[in-house]
Each structure stands twice: as structure tokens, then as C-alpha cells.
């Protein structure tokens, strides 16, 4: 046998197709390796990690982890079934009546519907949006007894979620005179309540100063009592 013939024979042997049995063994090994990786990640990321995060949340931040619920006495509650829970500090709600601070408008369902969280999705030049803004400006100006040009933007437009629990300090201060007159309180006392409830920017730089309407109305009710 010549050297060329030997080389050709060796090459053909090296490139021979693997047998069916070898393919099955290789497939089984790779599949089992993939399943073990999948199982490992499922246990770590699908079970262990969520349980660890939940445990840390319940131990370190139980109020926040359970919805930031508030009672009628402005105290923290850790379960919706707790007695006297009236809302969440994270979700706005409507307050009817001239004796209350009003929240900003909402397009979530009939207003602050958590199952229909959404904005209007109308552009800034949309005639329906412009008409709604004009209508809201007139209504707020009439209720507060002020010039329409003084109505702040958050009293005219809804948030993107429709669930914003806060208003600007400007809108809260705008309502002071009405509420003081309705409740027989001094405007100075109600203004001090607004200032005490105003939250500054998160970490000093994020967002804008804001007033949580639910907390403010709970403090207002406590003052009246």
C-alpha cells in the first residue's frame, strides 16, 4: 500500500458518519445537561430568589411590601383585611365634597380604577384633550374662586397611570381657602398642614415636591377633631 492510499483511507475513516447509537447517546447527554441547567436556574431564580426577596421585604419593609396601606387614623396597616383600612399611599382616590383636598384628574376607568390604569393617550393638540383642559380649568377656577390662569397644570391633566396619589404643593395651597371656609378653620392652620405634609424631591434630586392627598386629608380630619 502506498503512502497516498494509506492517507486516503485514514481520512475517509476519520470522516465516517457516527452510528445511530452514538447519536442517541450524544443527544441524551446534551439534553440531560440542558435539563439540569434549566432545573438549576428554575430552583435558584424561580423559587429561591423570589422567596428570599419576599422574606426580606416582609422582614425589613413590611408596610411597603404589603401595599403601603393606611387606616382612617393615618396609621400603617400590613394587610387589606386589617380593620379600618381606607386606602393606599401609592394609589390615588377621589374625594368628593368641598371640605376635602381634591386629587388630580384620572382617566383610569371611572376614576382611579386600578383595573383600568391608563392615561387618555391623547396628543397635546388633540381637540378633545384641549376641550377637557378648558372645562377643568373653568371648573377649578369657579370652585376655588380664582382667575383661571392661576390653575396649576396637575389640576387640569391626568397622570399617565391615572393612579397618581400626589398633587403639587401649588395645587394643594390653591385649595386652602375653600377648605378653611368649609371647615371653619384658619387658613394659616390649613396652610401649615399642607407644608407639613409636603414631601421633597426623592434623594434631593429626583422628581418634584409633592403632597400625598390621602395623607393630607387624613391629617385634615384629625385637625378637625
User: Does residue 70 contact residue 54 with C-beta atoms inside 8 Å?
Assistant: no
- 124 shares a domain with 180: yes
> Considering its fold, how many domains does the chain have in total?
2
Residue-wise pLDDT for 62-86, tens only, equals: 999 998 999 988 888 888 777 789 9
Q: Read off the pTM.
A: 0.78
205 within domain boundaries? yes
Q: Which domain does 213 fall in, by range?
A: 91-224
Instruction: With H, G, I as helix, E, B as strand and everything else as coil, classify residue 109.
Output: coil
Work out the pLDDT band at 118, boundaries 50, 70, 90: confident
Residue for grid cell 371647615 = 183
- Top pLDDT among 198 and 225 is at 198
- 205 shares a domain with 121: yes
d(CA 5, CA 210): 88
pLDDT at residue 87 is higher than 80: yes
Cross-strand bridge partners of residue 70: 76, 87
82 within domain boundaries? no
Neighbours of 224 (CB within 10 A): 11
23 within domain boundaries? yes
**Cα-Cα end-to-end distance for the chain:** 112
196 within domain boundaries? yes
**What confidence score (pLDDT) does residue 9 get?**
52
**What confidence score (pLDDT) does residue 8 get?**
53
User: Does residue 88 contact residue 68 with C-beta atoms inside 8 Å?
Assistant: yes
114 within domain boundaries? yes
Going by C-beta distance under 8 Å and a sequence separation of 6 or more, which residues neighbour residue 164? 92, 103, 104, 106, 158
214 within domain boundaries? yes
User: Does residue 212 contact residue 165 with C-beta atoms inside 8 Å?
Assistant: yes
73 within domain boundaries? no
- 117 shares a domain with 24: no
39 within domain boundaries? yes
Amino acid at each position: 500500500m502506498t503512502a497516498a492510499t494509506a492517507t486516503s483511507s485514514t481520512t475517509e475513516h476519520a470522516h465516517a458518519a457516527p452510528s445511530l447509537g452514538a447519536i442517541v447517546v450524544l443527544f441524551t447527554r446534551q439534553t440531560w445537561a440542558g435539563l439540569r441547567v434549566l432545573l438549576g436556574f428554575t430552583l435558584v431564580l424561580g423559587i429561591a430568589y423570589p422567596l428570599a426577596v419576599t422574606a426580606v421585604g416582609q422582614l425589613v419593609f413590611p408596610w411597603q411590601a404589603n401595599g403601603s396601606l393606611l387606616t382612617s387614623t393615618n396609621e400603617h396597616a400590613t394587610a387589606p383585611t386589617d380593620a379600618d383600612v381606607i386606602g393606599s399611599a401609592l394609589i390615588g382616590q377621589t374625594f368628593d365634597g368641598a371640605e376635602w383636598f381634591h386629587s388630580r384628574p384620572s382617566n383610569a376607568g371611572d376614576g382611579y380604577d386600578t383595573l383600568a390604569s391608563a392615561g387618555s393617550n391623547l396628543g397635546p393638540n388633540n381637540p378633545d384633550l384641549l376641550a377637557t383642559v378648558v372645562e377643568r380649568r373653568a371648573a377649578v377656577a369657579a370652585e376655588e374662586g380664582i382667575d383661571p390662569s392661576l390653575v396649576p397644570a396637575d389640576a387640569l391633566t391626568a397622570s399617565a397611570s391615572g393612579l397618581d396619589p400626589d398633587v403639587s404643593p401649588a395645587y394643594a395651597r390653591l385649595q386652602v381657602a375653600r377648605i378653611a371656609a368649609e371647615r371653619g378653620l384658619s387658613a394659616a392652620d390649613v396652610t401649615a398642614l399642607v407644608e407639613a405634609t409636603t414631601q421633597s424631591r426623592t434623594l434631593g434630586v429626583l422628581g418634584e415636591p409633592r403632597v400625598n392627598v390621602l395623607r393630607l386629608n387624613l391629617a385634615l380630619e384629625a385637625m378637625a377633631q
